[in-house]
Amino acid sequence: MKTLLFLSLILILGACSTNQTKSDAFGNFETDEVIISSENSGKILMTAFAEGEKVAKGAIMAVTDTVNMVLQRDQLMAQKASVLAEKAGLFAQIAVSDQLIVNVQKDQARIRKMIADGAATPKQMDDVDGQIALAEKQKKAYAAQIMATERRGEAIEAQISVLNERIGVSVVKAPISGTILEKYSLTGELATPGKPLYKMANIDSLILRIYVSGPQLTQVKTGNQVKVFIDSTNGIKELSGKVEWVSSDAEFTPKIIETREERVKLVYAVKVRVPNDGTLKIGMPGEIKF
């Protein structure tokens, strides 16, 4: 009789224990992954990291060949120098025209006096006035050419800026601090714009995406601390997590369901941020207890 009572107590305590550790929601760990791509075409001269390595933000991850772009830039720099020389020549022509006008104006003043004394003819004055008018028109023509030359120089400068930008992005830098998850290209291969080089993510903390039903929403609020359970070699390991996001829209259960009842059941997605001490892996299952 005592033995039967003892066994009954064990079963009751076991049932209570199972009920206490029963989880409220289940899901899998994920993270925000970043694809690092090339922005230029060319041979990959260097890839700096391997899968599993940690990378600091701003670290150089790869370098692509820029020889063609540098040659194009040198050509544009030569064109720019030619344009500047042409512009300087036009300003020199304007200076010549100004001096010509000054000289002719002196003749104009003398001829005006000579006409007053009857020593010169109106035709001489007309010739002088014509020289001054021609010099003024030449100045306007040179000024117009200078403006056109400046526009050409600006266009060349814009092309140089584009090439400088492209040469700059040939050095691929890490946009975030994180760990290399996958490496897609090797040194010596050909890079093209948009071609993935690496996939990386910050795995110092992972997101456990779970789905809760409508009645459970009262237990879930952004910022709440929750208990997270994962499988380990010693059984179940408990971690602490923080609710980071709760969907405002319901959706159908996101898995293959065999019964109609489960298939039409609406749930809400929740993201729980969990610090990672190295034991958590992307895709690993987890459980939540509110």
One digit per residue, the tens of pLDDT, for the chain of length 290 reads 434 333 343 333 343 344 345 778 888 999 999 999 999 999 999 999 999 999 999 999 999 999 999 999 999 999 999 999 999 999 999 999 999 999 999 988 888 888 888 888 888 888 888 999 999 999 999 999 999 999 999 999 999 999 999 999 999 999 999 999 999 999 999 999 989 999 999 999 999 998 888 788 878 888 989 999 998 888 888 999 999 999 887 777 666 544 455 555 778 889 999 999 888 999 999 998 87
C-alpha angle 114/120/122, rounded to 5°? 115
CB 64 within 8 A of CB 172: yes
Which residue bears the tokens 């117009």?
Answer: 144
CA distance 258 to 240: 33
In CATH, what is the architecture of 24-32+202-289?
Beta Barrel (2.40)
Q: Specify the DSSP class assigned to residue 4.
A: H
| pTM score of the predicted model | 0.67
The span from the CA of 113 to the CA of 290, in Å, is 109
The sign of the torsion formed by the CA atoms of 245, 248, 251, 253 equals positive
User: At residue 45, what is the residue type?
Assistant: L
Phi, psi (degrees; rounded to nearest 5) at 227? -90, 135
The pLDDT of residue 6 is: 37
Report the pLDDT value the prediction gives residue 10, as an integer from 0 to 100.
38
The predicted pLDDT at position 16 comes to 38
Work out the burial of residue 22: count CB atoms within 10 Å of its CB; fewer than 13 is exposed, 13-18 middle, 19 or more buried.
exposed
**CATH number for domain 34-64+171-200, candidates 3.30.1330.40, 1.10.3720.10, 2.40.50.100, 3.10.20.30:** 2.40.50.100
User: What value does the CA radius of gyration of the chain take, rounded to a whole number of Å?
Assistant: 40
Cβ atoms of 27 and 211 within 8 Å: the answer is yes
Q: Where are the chain's structural domains?
A: 24-32+202-289, 34-64+171-200, 67-168
Residues 188, 186: Cα–Cα separation, whole Å: 6
Q: Answer yes or no: are the C-beta atoms of 265 and 213 closer than 8 Å.
A: yes
3-class DSSP state of 118: coil
Strands 266-275 and 251-252: antiparallel
Is the CB of residue 30 less than 8 Å from the CB of residue 181?
Answer: no
The amino acid at 179: T
| Lateral strand order in the sheet of 60-64 | 171-173, 60-64, 42-47, 190-191
